[in-house]
Structure 1
Amino acid sequence: MILGVTLLVVLGTIIGAVLYGRAQSKARSVEDWALGGRRMGTLIFWFLNAGEIYTTFAVLGISGFAWAYGAPAYLAFCSVSLSAAIGYWLMPKIWAAGRARALVTQADFFADHYRARWLGVVVAIVGIAALVVYVQIQITALGLILRMTLGTDVSPAMAAVLAAAAMLAFVFLAGLRSAAFAAGVKDVLMLVLVIALSATVAGIVGASSMADVYARAQDAFPGIGKLPGLKADSGLSTTWLMTSALNVALANWIFPHMFQLSYSAATEDAIRRNAIFQPIYSLSYFFIILLGLAALLAGTIPPDGDINAVLLQFVSDRYPPWLVGLLAGTACLLALVPGSVLLLTAGSIFARNVVAPLYPAMSDRAGLLASRLSMVGAAAIAVYLTLGGNRSLVEIGLSAYGAIGLLAPGVFLAFLWPRTSAVAVAGGLVAGYALLVTPPGEAWIAATFVEWEPGLVAMGAALIVTVAISLVAPRRAGAPDTLPLTPPLASQGEAA
């Protein structure tokens, strides 16, 4: 029953998404395939944008974090709202620059604005590395679901390989429009499921209401409802929450796939409307955290102590098989859709910003082939990372935000300070990574900024170095002073 319902949900959605995508567009180039022809309207853009928020990180990761730590899971409430506020200002500017300059990738933006193709190559490599880490989240979660539905006889390694293969198959068959269709289906299913589970969970754990679940958790585990939560020595204090939420909000729109998402919108209004209403999605975290606390009250023990599997195990233990299958199928979509968009973005960046500079005469067909082949390599690296670690989805996500956040100074200063130079941006990257990934840098952050999110400290260092170098070595003459904030009239007419 579980396997049958799971396959029905997943295969039905994929078939519908592929048929929809092919009916809407014929991908003859990387731009058509990766940006959906720059014609994403308000509704489809909503689901695609929300699809990047409502992932396995949000559902399996946050519920597991609530089960293991309690109050630190409130990070989800803060980060989504802050991110939407920043996106309201930033995304339309990225969209305008992309439409006016025919940009396809994030690396295009850096190479074009700073008049330095070499910087585009550097940014491409940094972006692909961060995307691979984010793909790891989706493969980890999808592997868990596959083991639950197919049985524990399937090894973690085989589950990870199957998960990567499923993502590659979906993205090869489709493009951004198909992913947007699938995102809409999985968002609706997941919201209905989360609310339905939350409406019945009180009776499952012997509470009188949803609010009583929170009260009982506080009584059974004193301190769970306030920071630092269940584990006083975890370092998940108020300082951690504030710095982590700010780091996620600042870094969210810097991910390469969020740049391409911005480029894909048909109009500026589509972006702004989404930014206004997107924080509503953060309300669903009340129910997701509730389910994590209910699993704790129910004494749920996930396999191998894996906190990422808490929600799946809780539902499997307490609910009928058909509902378990519905959750498993929907959770598969939560991993497949964002994972496919991440791989699609990594492939388009590799083809356009790494291969194309070496082979300028490369045709669109060859570029599309290079893009698709490179995704196999990115998926393989993500599988390797999945097998080499056992961290929570939230911890993996924060490390990805920390890595990509080092590009934030280069993006924000592009719109705020024309003096910023390519050399300065590169210098900021070097300084940021020296703090973030080297043992001396990590030790310095831990000793100097106690309980701070390391990614935010590294981002601050990158900003200081970028500004300092720009004062000494400003942007070279001949580069435009500012990026255009609105596209040419012809492009506006096409968008309308």
Structure 2
Amino acid sequence: MNGTELGVLVFFFVAVAALGFFAARWRRAADHRHLHEWGLGGRSFGGWVTWFLLGGDLYTAYTFIAVPAAIFAGGALGFFAVPYTILVWPMVFIFLPRLWSVSRKHGYVTPADFVKGRHDSRALSLAVAVTGIVATMPYIALQLVGIQACLDVIGIGGNGSTWQKDLPLFIAFAVLAAYTYTSGLRAPALIAFVKDTLIYLTVIVAVIYIPTRIPGGWSHIFDAAQSHLTTPNPKTGKPAGSILLAKGTTIPYATLAVGSAMALFMYPHAQIGVLATKSRNTVRRNLAALTAYSLMLGVIALLGYMAIAAHFTAASLNGNAQHAVPALFDWAFPSWFAGVAFAAVAIGALVPAAIMSIAAANLFTRNVWVDFVRPGASPQEQTQVSQLASLVVKFGALIFVLSLDKTTAINFQLLGGVLILQTFPAIVFGLYTRYFHRWALLLGWAAGIVYGTLVAWWQSSPTQKHFGSQVATIPWTHQKAYIAVTALVVNLVVLVVANFVLKAVRAPAGTDATAAEDYEFEEAAEGTTPQVASAVL
């Protein structure tokens, strides 16, 4: 065990945990009993807070651990994450301000609230809510895997009994659960300042310093990566990959990028950062400014190639590519700065995990508990239910971590994408039109979920019998694609056919609770309180 690295990591870990508890006193709510205070930070975040909150929310342990690990293991295909984050910002700039406006006007706390109001369908709202909750759990699990990878490299949990290996996950779970329960969304919003500062510091130092530790610098890094990735594996007889896309990987690469971009802001944790802002202009400005993170992601991805050039192999990492970046930091940096880098990864996991659990808890409270169990629940009861639900969501994430193969953690995020992308028609189409019948949207969602889940279940890998890959063969072709995209195609086909039939038989379409002008609504006048939906009054 490296005592210096552990000491620095523990220092920052304790500091941000204390900051998380202090956040309950930061921007203290006038009435903390309302769910929009605990779950949306009072809808009061301005430009700087939102920029750090969204950055801390969207650039996670997936960014720092899973993406470089995928590139370390397979080369160029793992770079799909870079164009994915380039595509996403202009895409969401178009529709997210509309979601903010209608949610602000009607006091919606979750995207499922909007779906219910727009389409007059509790069943469709429930489908969106349950999908959001389930899809978020493997994403939270990915954050906990990032923490465990750092602790393994430091020397804690890497060897020993099963409970010793998993102990870091339970510690992270306990700390995360405690400050999320007490402080709500204010905790990750405040901690995000520390998280982003540490990550930018680590990335800048890594991209400048690590190549100086490798003879030949960047030229050798790319040469070593190409040589290593194209060498046939003795067990399979096939190369692991290449620094350029190999034949047959263009469609998987493109669909992974496009599908992930379409799915990102369908996640409830991504939308909660938008709904928590105080104005529509704040949303616009931040969506434009957040493109700076895409440049950082491209640099982070190259850490996978640096690990290859530093002579790390799957065997030297005990078969776990998730250790590539932590092992690289441990090798290249002095112990004290390696501890800072590990702290950046750990805090970079805690912030989004907190936001994800809050977003999922809000969905359960508003769209399951209030709609189907306790329609008359008081504001205080809703807040308490959401606090407890956030604990249950984290427990579900632990089950994902303990039951799925952690050596390919990027699958955790991609598996969530297969599910959450099926809510795209109900949410995004609904922001512009009610042409599609509510029952058709529900049938399309069901078809996409069933197809995507079954196909993902059938995929195996050398280390996992089920859910081993999120890329599969397109039916009736020899091409492969991201399962989320093919499932969305199934969803849309069913949606169009069912919509035609339902309109032909004049099935009741329900009543739209929104008006056209609601989608252009600006912030309330200075000093006024945001409207709270009737369900929480």
Q: Which residue of 2 aligns with 1:368?
A: 383
State the Cα distance separating 1:182 from its structure 2 match.
Answer: 1.1
Separation in 2, partners of 1:380, 1:17: 20
Shifted more, 3-12 versus 242-251: the winner is 3-12
State the Cα distance separating 1:351 from its structure 2 match.
Answer: 1.6
Amino acid at match of 2:476: T
State the Cα distance separating 1:45 from its structure 2 match.
Answer: 0.7
Structure 2 contact 102–514 (Cα < 8 Å) conserved: no
How is 1:125-164 mapped onto 2 (pairs within 5 angstroms)?
125-149=130-154, 150-152=156-158, 153=160, 155-164=164-173
State the Cα distance separating 1:25 from its structure 2 match.
Answer: 2.4
State the Cα distance separating 1:495 from its structure 2 match.
Answer: 8.5
Q: Which residue of 1 aligns with 2:261?
A: 249
Separation in 2, partners of 1:220, 1:439: 32
Amino acid at match of 1:456: V
After superposition, the Cα gap between the structure-2 partners of 1:480 and 1:17, relative to the gap in structure 1 and judged at 3 Å, is closer
User: What is the aligned-residue RMSD (CA, Å)?
Assistant: 2.4
State the Cα distance separating 1:480 from its structure 2 match.
Answer: 5.5
Does residue 422 in structure 1 map to residue 438 in structure 2? yes
How is 1:441-452 mapped onto 2 (pairs within 5 angstroms)?
445-448=473-476, 450-452=479-481
Structure 2 contact 57–269 (Cα < 8 Å) conserved: no
The gaps in structure 1 that reach 5 residues or longer are none
Does residue 56 in structure 1 map to residue 68 in structure 2? no
State the Cα distance separating 1:213 from its structure 2 match.
Answer: 2.5
State the Cα distance separating 1:62 from its structure 2 match.
Answer: 1.2
State the Cα distance separating 1:286 from its structure 2 match.
Answer: 3.0
State the Cα distance separating 1:120 from its structure 2 match.
Answer: 1.8
After superposition, the Cα gap between the structure-2 partners of 1:58 and 1:85, relative to the gap in structure 1 and judged at 3 Å, is same
Q: Which residue of 1 aligns with 2:398?
A: 383
Separation in 1, partners of 2:166, 2:348: 20
Q: Which residue of 2 aligns with 1:217?
A: 225
Does residue 470 in structure 1 map to residue 479 in structure 2? no
Does residue 345 in structure 1 map to residue 359 in structure 2? yes
Structure 1 contact 432–458 (Cα < 8 Å) conserved: yes
Q: 3-state DSSP class of the match of 1:300?
A: coil
After superposition, the Cα gap between the structure-2 partners of 1:215 and 1:441, relative to the gap in structure 1 and judged at 3 Å, is closer
Shifted more, 149-158 versus 186-195: the winner is 149-158
Structure 1 contact 418–482 (Cα < 8 Å) conserved: no
Q: Which residue of 2 aligns with 1:396?
A: 412
Q: Which residue of 2 aligns with 1:433?
A: 449
Amino acid at match of 1:245: A
Q: Which residue of 2 aligns with 1:6?
A: 9
Between structures 1 and 2, the one with greater helix share: 1
Separation in 1, partners of 2:289, 2:455: 41
Does residue 205 in structure 1 map to residue 214 in structure 2? yes
Q: 3-state DSSP class of the match of 2:439?
A: helix
Separation in 2, partners of 1:306, 1:151: 14
Does residue 187 in structure 1 map to residue 196 in structure 2? yes
Structure 2 contact 43–278 (Cα < 8 Å) conserved: yes
Q: Which residue of 2 aligns with 1:323?
A: 337
After superposition, the Cα gap between the structure-2 partners of 1:489 and 1:300, relative to the gap in structure 1 and judged at 3 Å, is closer
Q: 3-state DSSP class of the match of 2:40?
A: helix
Separation in 2, partners of 1:350, 1:9: 32
Structure 1 contact 143–162 (Cα < 8 Å) conserved: no
Does residue 283 in structure 1 map to residue 312 in structure 2? no
Shifted more, 466-475 versus 212-221: the winner is 212-221
State the Cα distance separating 1:319 from its structure 2 match.
Answer: 2.2
Structure 2 contact 307–324 (Cα < 8 Å) conserved: yes
Separation in 2, partners of 1:399, 1:332: 22
State the Cα distance separating 1:371 from its structure 2 match.
Answer: 1.3
How is 1:86-165 mapped onto 2 (pairs within 5 angstroms)?
86-149=91-154, 150-152=156-158, 153=160, 155-165=164-174
Amino acid at match of 2:269: H
Amino acid at match of 2:165: P
After superposition, the Cα gap between the structure-2 partners of 1:489 and 1:318, relative to the gap in structure 1 and judged at 3 Å, is closer
After superposition, the Cα gap between the structure-2 partners of 1:147 and 1:202, relative to the gap in structure 1 and judged at 3 Å, is closer
Q: For residues 297-322 of structure 1, what are the alpha-carbon distances to aligned partners after superposition, in whole Å with 9 as ceiling and x for unaligned?
A: 11124543111111001211332211
State the Cα distance separating 1:379 from its structure 2 match.
Answer: 1.6
After superposition, the Cα gap between the structure-2 partners of 1:494 and 1:471, relative to the gap in structure 1 and judged at 3 Å, is farther
The gaps in structure 2 that reach 5 residues or longer are 231-240, 460-471, 531-537
Structure 1 contact 52–338 (Cα < 8 Å) conserved: yes
Q: Which residue of 1 aligns with 2:233?
A: none
After superposition, the Cα gap between the structure-2 partners of 1:36 and 1:291, relative to the gap in structure 1 and judged at 3 Å, is same
Shifted more, 159-168 versus 142-151: the winner is 142-151
Separation in 2, partners of 1:24, 1:181: 10
- Give the alignment partner of residue 185 of structure 2, picking from 168, 173, 176: 176
Separation in 2, partners of 1:326, 1:307: 21
Shifted more, 364-373 versus 29-38: the winner is 364-373
Q: Which residue of 2 aligns with 1:485?
A: 519
Separation in 1, partners of 2:226, 2:366: 53
Structure 1 contact 201–291 (Cα < 8 Å) conserved: no
Q: Which residue of 2 aligns with 1:461?
A: 490
Separation in 2, partners of 1:341, 1:489: 23
Q: 3-state DSSP class of the match of 1:452?
A: strand
State the Cα distance separating 1:473 from its structure 2 match.
Answer: 2.1
Q: For residues 319-373 of structure 1, what are the alpha-carbon distances to aligned partners after superposition, in whole Å with 9 as ceiling and x for unaligned?
A: 2211121111111111100001111111121122111121122222222221122
After superposition, the Cα gap between the structure-2 partners of 1:102 and 1:491, relative to the gap in structure 1 and judged at 3 Å, is farther
Structure 1 contact 267–495 (Cα < 8 Å) conserved: no
Structure 2 contact 210–332 (Cα < 8 Å) conserved: no
State the Cα distance separating 1:445 from its structure 2 match.
Answer: 5.0
Q: Which residue of 2 aligns with 1:271?
A: 283
Separation in 1, partners of 2:227, 2:321: 22
Structure 1 contact 67–296 (Cα < 8 Å) conserved: yes
After superposition, the Cα gap between the structure-2 partners of 1:482 and 1:82, relative to the gap in structure 1 and judged at 3 Å, is farther
Does residue 356 in structure 1 map to residue 374 in structure 2? no
After superposition, the Cα gap between the structure-2 partners of 1:350 and 1:471, relative to the gap in structure 1 and judged at 3 Å, is same
Separation in 1, partners of 2:393, 2:457: 27
Q: For residues 171-199 of structure 1, what are the alpha-carbon distances to aligned partners after superposition, in whole Å with 9 as ceiling and x for unaligned?
A: 12322122112112111111111110111
Q: 3-state DSSP class of the match of 1:292?
A: helix
Amino acid at match of 1:193: T
State the Cα distance separating 1:105 from its structure 2 match.
Answer: 1.1
Structure 1 contact 207–216 (Cα < 8 Å) conserved: no
Q: 3-state DSSP class of the match of 1:225?
A: coil
Percent of aligned positions that are identical: 23
